[in-house]
Structure 1
Amino acid sequence: MKTESLPPPTPSAEGHWVEGELVRSLMRTQRNTQWVGLALVAIIVGVLWDDTSPLLISVWLLLMLAMTAWRLGILRLYEREVMQEGTDEHLAFFRRHRLVWPLSALAWGLATMLYFDRTSLADQFVCWLAVAGLAMFSINTLSSQRPVMRGYLDTFAATALAVIGWRMAGELGLQGPTYHWWLVALLLILWQVLRHAGDRLHDTHRRNFELQFRNTQLIDSLTRQTQAALDAVEIKNRFLASAAHDIRQPVHALGLYADWLGSEPELVHELAPKIVESTKAVNRLFDSLFDLARLDSGKIRLNIEPVSVVKLLRELELQYRPLCEAKGLKFRLHLRPGTAVSDPILLQRIVGNLISNAVKYTQKGGILVAARATREGLRIEIWDTGVGIAPVHQREIFREFYKVPGHAGTEEGFGLGLYIVGRLTHILGHPLELRSRVGRGTVFRLMLHPTDPRAAADRAVASVARMGREP
């Protein structure tokens, strides 16, 4: 099977995938974050227990435990229902639960009420160190999502500054020690530094995922191209084997007839028709090869013009009626005057291949070639009373080199006739319908929709481009 190449990813598809991976990265860090947070809560409570109101610190402790339980519940829900799902599910989950991070930051910011200017400088130093460490740790764990990281830092800093401002202005009337102002300045500087560092970390995360996405696309593309190259080698080998087998028979027959004629020239009247038939067989094989080569190389030239269907079918009658009569078959022609807008040479090749196929697989009865007017336009039909095609093979017969197993006559060609018909009808925009019953015969109906030159040229180019990708 040939591998189908995918078009290059669109920026929106890449961005969508990257956003999903950023959410995955955020959620992967949350379990460790909870344990670190609980450890810092324990440190702050232990340091302040003897210096702060037991009621106040107990309320804050209960608040932090409730926030931790909420975040752990969200994490379990994620691991149970979302972790193995796709990008859309991750983004939807994140939108539903994104408020948990700023609310956690609010709870941490309220801790400032427990120690700022209410305990010894040593205890305040330990608490500020723990909180600063938490803020620095947060930019590593939350920076994969810029809005979350910024929201967390902004909420934490705003809450802490509000508490400090209330203590300095509301309770102390701005008469507190000078170090309060330096502490506010330090907090503002730390806030902006952490924000800037978080932005840079986020950009690094995003670039890494963008590179991962593009590398994955590149690897997939290289894999498809490698598979296409292997398939091309396989097709070439099949083609050479088929060509060698099919051409050898009529060429070998020609050699035998020529030797026979050389030794017994009096048999010229008996041998000449056989030599002619063998020559025609070789010509038909080479015609198929040339048609295939033109299609695959993209050198097919379209000449779209009005085509007289009556004239077209009369010319084909002159070519194929003798073949039918030589096999004892009836050849009937039903004409309906009309004009098709198409390429006359390619259209003749399509109908000719269908008639040739009908003659090849019909041993008794006959062939009917008809032009009919329908509601959708002019249509050409080729009926035969041949062996018929089983449903399992009706799609396969349009594949390259495919021959229906067990059909008499398959040894006479490469299995390219209907493949070429399928390619040409697609290019010209003439839908082809097949109906067949095993043992009763087959009918092909070719709808002669007007061919648009530009669309046909585009389909011809696309047909060549798909050669390495279609099964």
Structure 2
Amino acid sequence: MAGPLTRLGLGDESPEQRQQRITAGVMASVYRQVPQSVLGSIFGSMALVAAFWHTHDQNQVLQNQLLIWFIGMLLESLLRLRVARAFRLDPEPAKRAKMWASRWVAIAAAAGLLWGVAGTLFFAPDSPLLQLVLLAVILGVAFGSLTLYAGYRRALFLFLPLAVLPLLVRMVEQHDAAYYSAAIVLFAVFLFTLFFGRNFGETMSEAVKKNYENEVLVEQLLNEKRLAEEARRAAESAIRSKTQFFAAASHDLRQPLQAIGIYCSLLRKRAQGPLEPLTKNLSSAVESLSKLVEELLEISRLDSGAVQASKQVVDLNEMFSTLRQEFVPIAAAKGLRFRERRAGLYVETDPLLLQRILRNLISNAVRYTTEGGVLLAARRRSSRVSLEVWDTGPGIRRDEFDRIFEEFYRGESSKTETSGGYGLGLSIVRRICTVLGHSLFVTSRPGAGTVFRVEIPLAPRPPRARAKKAALASATLIPLTDHLIVVLEDNTEILASLTRLLTSWGARVLPSPKFDTVLLQRLANESKVDLIVADHNLGGPINGAEAVFRIRELIRSPIPVVMLTAVQAQEVVGEFKRQLQARTSADPSIASNIALRRGEEPVVLQKPADALLLNSTIAQALGLAPSAGADRPATSAA
């Protein structure tokens, strides 16, 4: 797998290429010192020439030698400057590091040779003062050039011997004790300088190497940061695209499913004889398709962060009662027992999301259990409550514990089952547990059954227990005889089917694809409107919420409303609040005509909603059936 250095193009460098880059760094450090070193060499050579020229003004041969030597020093200094300038202008010195190093070695050899010639030619045994000047200049140049040549060891090992040893040899040739002593001191200084220069060069090379590694690291970090930023932007863009896609899909998929569901309800009412089982099977297929679409959209909402938890104190006894009423008949139809173990506990969680978790777990347990039963239990564990769903089904192998939470995965033991299921239920459960911050565990014994456990923080019992919810709406349809209902729906198929359905329930229907002058003219002939059923998106500048308030203003009555839409309930409620605030701020006197004093305003049903739920909701809004209550200002149903 490619690492970060490989992605940056650095991981492909060979050791030789890396050494070339280090050598180029050393050369850069050396060549930067050339101007200062040239000045030192010129001043030293000028001092030497001046001292010997003045004392040997009658010696024409020595003066010519001094002049030639000084010209050589000037040429060497000029060559050094030109090579340093060429190095600075090289766009890629690392590729030619060996060439620049070789040139520097040649320059060091030339400089050392010139100073060695000076020590040989200008040695004056009869003038101690001139010898002292010569020794001082050569040693000064040698020491002064230490940092210049020590950066590259080969240059140092050529320059120092060539510059110092010729003078040392001349001292030894004098066969004098004083010169022997001076030679020994000079040789010791030479060795020390050579040793110090070698260590200095190693330190310098190591510093250049570290600097190179730091540059590589900085470059790597910058590129990694750039790659991370690009990945983050790409992920954000993908999430936005995914959210936009599923928002559109949510509306576009639910619209035809709503129409098909309504048509199926009408067909079942009219079907007789051999058509009756066909319409029943068609309704079952539509329900399965609607369930699959809802589960896919729910996964999308959970992944995109659109689902936010609203935690509160929840009475588990009430929730268990609701689940018992739902699943006892389903379990009994399969010959299973549905049992519960209550503990009279309260937990802090989101009631709707927790109920969704338990409903999915119980549905799976009932679906894959053929004998025995299902147990829903609540157990207190210190400061937490463990909600458990037990079954006596086929069980799950241990190596499948992680995979069962993947989308569309069905365990080996469940693949032989023919009863529904798309492998999405547990995936949704895990995502909701993540949103709520609840721990999810599973234990199982193949052939004996499975236990799913959700751990939730325990909450203290509230001072006054919340009143029990009213009984669920009856399974029988409630007549809507002679009630006038305005239906706003931009989809003509859904509008037509909804009109027929409401009419079959006895209602008088005033259908319209949008809020326009035609609708206003028809409303002008009506003295009372009992209910408005509206989609939120009406395909024009006026949305469903604004249309509701305009109708209320026209009729001068806070008409109840049921929003039947594919738009999320939070968005619809927010738009209602904005419309109400804008209107009451402009004219507070109309508040009584446009605002219902009810906490559940507006009631929001998510498409596709089945006929029984729609009938029950409309009946409750009209006061024909007891309200089931709500914990939130908007309800949604799938």
Q: Structure 1-normalised TM-score?
A: 0.50
Report which of the two has the higher share of helix. Answer: 1
| Structure with max Cα Rg | 2
Q: Structure 2-normalised TM-score?
A: 0.38
